Each structure stands twice: as C-alpha cells, then as structure tokens.
C-alpha cells in the first residue's frame, strides 16, 4: 500500500487498559454479564442514586455548550478557584493529549515518572516528542527518588513532565513538598499532575495553591470519582494563560450534553466521596488481609487499588477470568509479575477471595 502514516506513528502500539474486552470474552465463551470487574479503578459504590435519571430529559438535537459553562462554574465554586482556570474534557486522557498538542513540538522532550499510565507516552509519540522514563525501582516499592528526578530534569530540560499522583498502577502518593520541588525545579516545563485517583487517597492534600507558579496543570477525573466511565468526564485546573491555550486546541463540543448534565449533578454530591473513601478503606483492608493469608505479597498503596506479586501476571489473569473475575495484568506497565486489583463491593471482594482459594485447592 502506497499510503503510509508518518514514520513516528510506527513507534505506537495498541493501548492496553483495564475494562471489558468483548472479543476475548467471546473467544473464551464467557458471558460478560457474569464478570466481576477488578480491572478498572473506579468508585466501588458506583454512580450515586438518582443521578442517571435526569439525562433522559436532555436536548439531544442541539450541540452541547462548547465551554461546559454551567459545569465549570459549579466546579469552580466547589473547589474555590476562578472559572477561567478550569477546562472540561472528555476524560483525563483527552486533556493529556491537549497538553502535548498545545505545548510540544517534535524537537521537544517529555519526562514521565514511571511505571505509570501508558497514555502519557502515547500522547507524546503521536506528537513525535521524545520520551524519557524515570522509573522507580521495585526494591523501593516503586517510591520515586526525588533527588534523582530533580537532577535528571535539570540535565534533560524537558518541555513537559508527567506525574500521576497517586500513581497508577503502584498507588504511590507523593506529598506536597515533593511535588513543589519538581514544580520549582522546572519553571520552563509544563508539569502535568494527574490526580485521577486523588479522591480516594489517604491523607489527601490539595495542590491548587501551587498554580501560582504558572507551570502546573492539574488533571482530575470525574470518571473515576463517580464511576461514570461510559460518559467520559474530567477537568483541568491551571493558570488562566494555560487554560486559554488549551482552549485553542480543544475540539468543539468535546463534552457531550449527558456528561455535562450528570457532572453538574455529581459535583453537588457533598458526602458521597467521603462515604466512598470509607468503603475503599474497609474493602482494601479486607482484600489485603485475605490475600496475605493466601501467600500473596500486597504492595503498599494510598488509593483504591493495589499491586500483588505473582509468578506470571498474564497466567493468573486468565485463570481468574475463567472464574468470571477480571483483574489488570500489569505487563503493559513493564510489570509482568504484578496484578493490579481495584477494591469493589464487599460481595465482589469476597467472590475474588473465594475464586483464589478454589484455584489453590484445584492445584
């Protein structure tokens, strides 16, 4: 075929994520309705009651508000910032790509703190930007060495730096002083601080006061907070100059009518996330206790998911899937001996432990 893509596109591979793969289920003869999903780290309580019903009353024949103004104003009021510092997006992943599109050229370099979410690298490769991974070792339970990171940032001079905090898939949560040190050390870099899982973090802290540095872009995921993965909704917070630039590259009508309406209702749910944190704490404690009894090593985590060690992550995932339990094989993160497990409902958590006990008994 004579029609070929840009050479840099050859460096891309298909993204691997949690969630249902219906082609795989069909091949294995598995009914998706019977699957208990531990592979996606959304809120285990699901969508708050009474939220979905209002979307039946939407004006689907009209284009959505391109600026999502009603939603943005409510977010701004809730977190105490100006509405000019917020941009809504179709999930955090869209906002990641907008940041690279707006700020990077093929001559630029990106730094990614890993092991972490693969879409940072993908966004950079699409833009033909070179990526340097600074990967925390397993020997430190994947806790990054900030001194090493600061030295490498000074050496490399990246245009953009990606920090997932709390980190996916390790659950490591860096503190205020550590993030401030990175932001301060790289005044000419855009620091993308992805807080997709921060709503579930132990001892959560708020980085909003660091926005005054003018080089910080905070990403938050309502998809994860409120279990609305099918609607795709997130938002960015940054200095007004950064938000204005991102608006230039954002697609028109990027947040659909249903997502805007549901998002507005969710932001007004004052107590739901606190209830969710309590459920996550209890569920994680149960799972890690039971998994430890079964001989698994559970790595420390500050959020609603954690890693366990196994001899072969792909094999364990397949065996669990045949028992209708779906977990996240972390091979795509460069961790072929680790499985990521997201906390689910108490009933689902018990089903996971029962399945593992049955597998050990069957040996």
Domain boundary among 269, 284, 307: 269
Are 148 and 256 in the same domain? Answer: yes
Q: Taking the CB of residue 326, how many other CB atoms lie within 10 A of it?
A: 22
Which one is predicted more confidently, 9 or 118? Answer: 118
Q: The domain spanning residue 202 has which CATH number? A: 3.40.640.10
Are 80 and 130 in the same domain? Answer: yes
Q: What is the pLDDT of residue 5?
A: 83
Q: The domain spanning residue 15 has which CATH number? A: 3.90.1150.10
pLDDT digits (tens, 9 = 90+) for 203-240: 999 999 999 999 999 999 999 999 998 899 999 999 99
Distance CA 231, CA 227 (A): 9
Is 1 inside any structural domain?
no
Q: Which residues contact 320 (CB under 8 A, 6 or more apart)?
A: 326, 327, 352, 355, 356, 359
Domain boundary among 248, 269, 290: 269
Cis preceding-peptide flag for 166 (omega within 30 of 0) = yes
Q: What is the pLDDT of residue 188?
A: 96
305, HSE (Cβ side, Cα atoms, 13 Å): 28
Is 148 inside any structural domain?
yes
Are 136 and 107 in the same domain? Answer: yes
Distance CA 337, CA 326 (A): 16
Instruction: Please state the domain count of the chain.
Output: 2
Q: Is the dihedral of CA 254, 256, 191, 121 positive or negative?
A: negative
Distance CA 142, CA 315 (A): 23
Domain boundary among 224, 246, 269: 269
pLDDT digits (tens, 9 = 90+) for 316-336: 999 999 999 999 999 999 999
Distance CA 110, CA 190 (A): 10
The DSSP letter of residue 299 is P
pLDDT digits (tens, 9 = 90+) for 36-85: 999 999 999 999 888 877 677 778 888 999 999 999 999 999 999 999 99
pLDDT digits (tens, 9 = 90+) for 163-193: 999 999 999 999 999 999 999 999 999 999 9
Are 33 and 149 in the same domain? Answer: no
Cis preceding-peptide flag for 115 (omega within 30 of 0) = yes
Q: What is the pLDDT of residue 158?
A: 98
Distance CA 245, CA 48 (A): 34
Are 56 and 73 in the same domain? Answer: yes
Asked if pLDDT for residue 13 goes beyond 90, the answer is no
Are 22 and 56 in the same domain? Answer: no
Distance CA 357, CA 31 (A): 22
Distance CA 180, CA 150 (A): 11
Place of tokens 């004006």: 59
pTM for the complete prediction?
A: 0.95
Helix or strand or coil: residue 155? helix
Element (H, E) at 87: strand 86-89
Distance CA 154, CA 26 (A): 50
The DSSP letter of residue 311 is S
Are 162 and 112 in the same domain? Answer: yes
CA distances from 285 to 42, 107, 138, 189, 297 (A): 17, 47, 22, 39, 14
Asked if pLDDT for residue 8 goes beyond 90, the answer is no
Classify 209 in phi/psi space as left (phi over 0), alpha (psi -120 to 50) or beta.
alpha
Distance CA 300, CA 287 (A): 12
Are 163 and 220 in the same domain? Answer: yes
Q: What is the pLDDT of residue 363?
A: 64
Are 215 and 90 in the same domain? Answer: yes
Helix or strand or coil: residue 218? strand
Are 210 and 350 in the same domain? Answer: no
Which one is predicted more confidently, 100 or 322? Answer: 100
- Domain that includes residue 352, residue range: 7-46+271-362
Are 157 and 296 in the same domain? Answer: no
Q: What is the mean pLDDT of residues 340-351?
A: 97
Are 311 and 351 in the same domain? Answer: yes
Distance CA 72, CA 243 (A): 12
């Amino acid at each position: 075929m004579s029609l070929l893509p840009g050479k840099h596109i050859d460096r891309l591979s298909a993204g691997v994520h949690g969630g249902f793969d219906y082609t795989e289920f069909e091949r294995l003869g598995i009914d998706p309705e019977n699957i208990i999903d531990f592979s996606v780290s959304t809120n285990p309580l699901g969508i708050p009651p009474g939220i979905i019903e209002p979307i039946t009353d939407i004006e689907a024949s009209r284009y959505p508000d391109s600026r999502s103004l009603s939603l943005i104003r409510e977010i701004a009021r809730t977190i105490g910032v100006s509405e000019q510092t917020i941009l809504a997006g179709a999930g955090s992943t869209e906002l990641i790509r907008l940041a690279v599109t707006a700020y990077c050229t093929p001559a630029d370099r990106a730094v990614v703190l890993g092991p972490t979410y693969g879409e940072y690298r993908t966004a950079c490769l699409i833009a033909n930007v070179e990526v340097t991974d600074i990967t925390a070792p397993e020997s430190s339970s994947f806790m990054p060495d900030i001194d090493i990171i600061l030295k490498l940032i000074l050496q490399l001079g990246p245009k953009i730096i990606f920090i997932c905090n709390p980190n996916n898939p390790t659950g490591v949560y860096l503190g205020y002083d550590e993030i401030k040190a990175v932001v301060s050390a790289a005044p000419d870099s855009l620091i993308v601080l992805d807080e997709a899982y921060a709503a579930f973090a132990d001892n959560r802290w708020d980085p909003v006061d660091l926005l005054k540095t003018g080089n910080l872009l905070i990403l938050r995921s309502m998809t994860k907070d409120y279990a609305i993965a099918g609607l795709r909704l997130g938002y960015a917070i940054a200095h007004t100059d950064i938000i204005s630039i991102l608006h230039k590259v954002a697609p028109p009508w990027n947040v659909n009518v249903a997502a805007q309406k549901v998002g507005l209702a969710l932001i007004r749910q004052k107590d739901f996330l606190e209830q969710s944190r309590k459920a996550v704490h209890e569920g994680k404690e149960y799972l890690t206790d039971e998994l430890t009894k079964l001989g698994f090593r559970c790595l420390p985590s500050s959020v609603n998911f954690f890693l366990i060690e196994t001899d072969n992550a792909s094999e364990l995932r397949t065996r669990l899937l045949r028992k209708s339990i779906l977990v996240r094989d972390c091979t795509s993160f460069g961790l072929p001996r680790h499985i990521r497990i997201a906390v689910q409902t108490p009933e689902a958590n018990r089903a996971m432990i029962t399945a593992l006990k049955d597998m050990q008994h069957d040996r």
